Structure 1
Amino acid sequence: MSEPMVTQNLARRVSPGAGAEPSLRQIAYDRIEELLNWGKVRPGQIISQRELMEMADVSLGSVREAIPRFEAEGLLLTLPQRGLMVPSLDVTFIREAYQMRRMIELGAVPAILARLDRSLVTEWIDWHRAAQVRLGQDDGNDLEDFLRDFQLYDWDMHAQMVSVMENRLMSNVYRVTAIKIRMAAQSRVRVTRQNATRVIKEHLAFLTPMLAGEADAATRALSFHIDQSLTLALGGMVQG
């Protein structure tokens, strides 16, 4: 089996106007979101619109157009005469955000079993098994790139699971909550070979019963996976 890649999976994302050419504002939004997701700008940091423009490699006008959406979602705050601030997100927020994540993801399980194409679940399982093989190799070549791809695949798979409910409001709440979790926990949650190996095992533990239509087993395994992620986000030690 060839080394797993994320391109085809990421292409399945569905958004309003899918298929249309994205606007400059949307491009700016997506690139600034990526900065937040990967910790290029951090909670508590104050940054100017021009700095965001340079980091995102977009026009200043498109940054200005994207900012109101970030403000509405609580991802950026405007400080008069100072610039923009990435909000500080504390331990209480992390716990509450994971509670929201738990409600949404576990609530999606019935829809996943009823609506999700089993061939996609099979593809996810195959991808994870191929990733196990890749991580079992000791050469370390391109490991950093692979771990980044793995993180993207992880984020996208969970988002697709939520999207099966066909509730755009719920999907957007989940997306914004996930960004905030990454922002708050990025100093403690790092994708390493060891963590990726553990996550693959946990993913397979709920994907396999999903494929078999076993709701209780899938829910238990998904709940355990979310608990593990919360523990890690809070700086604790996880199992396995």
Structure 2
Amino acid sequence: MSRMGSPTLREKAYEAFKERLFSRDIRPGQFLSQRELVAVTGMPLGAIRELIPRLEADGLIKTVPQRGMQVAHVDIDLIRNAFQLRLILEREATVEFCRSAPDELVSTLREEHVSVQREAEKGVTPELLERAQHMDWMFHDTMIDSMGNSLISSVYRVNSIKIRLIRQGDTRMLPELVTSVMREHMRILDALVARDERAALEAIEAHIDVARRRALGV
């Protein structure tokens, strides 16, 4: 954010790039020129030129000699590395959240999950699917941000972009996964309500391992 609190053009371009990535208008492994990035994001060339070093630093694109810029390519190494980093960060965040999260916040998160879980048992509508996906991301982001460490939050957000790129059909919230994912979250939340660090860690580790194995197709 700029010092005045308004997003800069580069920040707007970054968000536009992410949106196009998640909508698959930009695809993993795709080669793009600066002009093509302008066209697909709708941002001016100057903003794109400022954006590129950040995308390179985040590992979202790389420059390939003679060919131009390539969007991050999804392979086994990326899957393993991204999920390993996620596990490291979320284990620490879960312990911190278990120790210090306000009771009211934990209870609210649990109540929201119970509500979605009950609705999902009756049938998953597009609206419920979107709400469940948002709640899934928000739940993990909330625990990470509870650490109060902007560096960790930043690293986690970039890694989350890569997680969402990995076999999107397997890692995003699909209708048939809503109930199972909510159930996995409920195990974590029940442990958090009880302030049981060991149970919370076991639950978050199991939850991330399920997502990792789904991404690997095993």
Q: TM-score, normalised by structure 1?
A: 0.81
Q: Secondary structure at the match of 1:40?
A: coil
Q: Secondary structure at the match of 2:170?
A: coil
Question: Does the CA contact (< 8 Å) of 2:58 and 2:158 recur in 1?
Answer: yes
> How much has 1:38 moved relative to structure 2?
4.3
Distance in 1 separating the partners of 2:130 and 2:41: 19
Match of 2:186 in 1: 204
> How much has 1:92 moved relative to structure 2?
2.4
Matches within 5 A, 1:112-151: 112-138=97-123, 143-151=125-133
Please point out which of 186, 189, 192 is paired with 2:168: 186
> How much has 1:146 moved relative to structure 2?
3.2
Distance in 2 separating the partners of 1:96 and 1:32: 22
Match of 1:69 in 2: 54
Q: Secondary structure at the match of 1:202?
A: helix
Matched, 1:102 2:87: yes
Question: Does the CA contact (< 8 Å) of 2:28 and 2:72 recur in 1?
Answer: yes
Matches within 5 A, 1:39-54: 39-54=24-39
- Distance change (3 Å), C-alpha of 1:55 and 1:119: farther
Q: Which has the higher contact order (CA 8 A, sep 6+)?
A: 1
> How much has 1:150 moved relative to structure 2?
2.2
Matches within 5 A, 1:199-238: 199-236=181-218
Q: Whose helix fraction is larger, Structure 1's or Structure 2's?
A: 2
Give me the identity figure in percent: 37
Question: Does the CA contact (< 8 Å) of 2:60 and 2:72 recur in 1?
Answer: yes
- Distance change (3 Å), C-alpha of 1:152 and 1:18: farther
> How much has 1:201 moved relative to structure 2?
0.4
Distance in 2 separating the partners of 1:54 and 1:122: 45
Root-mean-square deviation over aligned CA pairs: 2.2
> How much has 1:190 moved relative to structure 2?
4.2
Q: Which consecutive aligned stretches of 4+ in structure 1 deviate over 3 angstroms post-superposition?
A: 16-19, 37-40, 79-83
Please point out which of 143, 150, 158 is paired with 1:176: 158
Q: Secondary structure at the match of 1:129?
A: helix
- Distance change (3 Å), C-alpha of 1:117 and 1:155: same
1:28-58 deviation digits (Å, cap 9, x = unpaired): 1112122334443222111233333333333
Matched, 1:164 2:146: yes
Unaligned residue ranges in structure 2 (runs of 5+) = none
> How much has 1:193 moved relative to structure 2?
1.7
| Greater shift in the superposed pair: 178-187 or 65-74 | 178-187
Question: Does the CA contact (< 8 Å) of 2:116 and 2:128 recur in 1?
Answer: no
Matched positions, count: 218
1:130-175 deviation digits (Å, cap 9, x = unpaired): 112322334x6xx234323322321222122112122222222222
Matches within 5 A, 1:9-88: 20-79=5-64, 82-88=67-73
1:31-86 deviation digits (Å, cap 9, x = unpaired): 21223344432221112333333333332322222121111111012345644211
Distance in 2 separating the partners of 1:197 and 1:59: 43
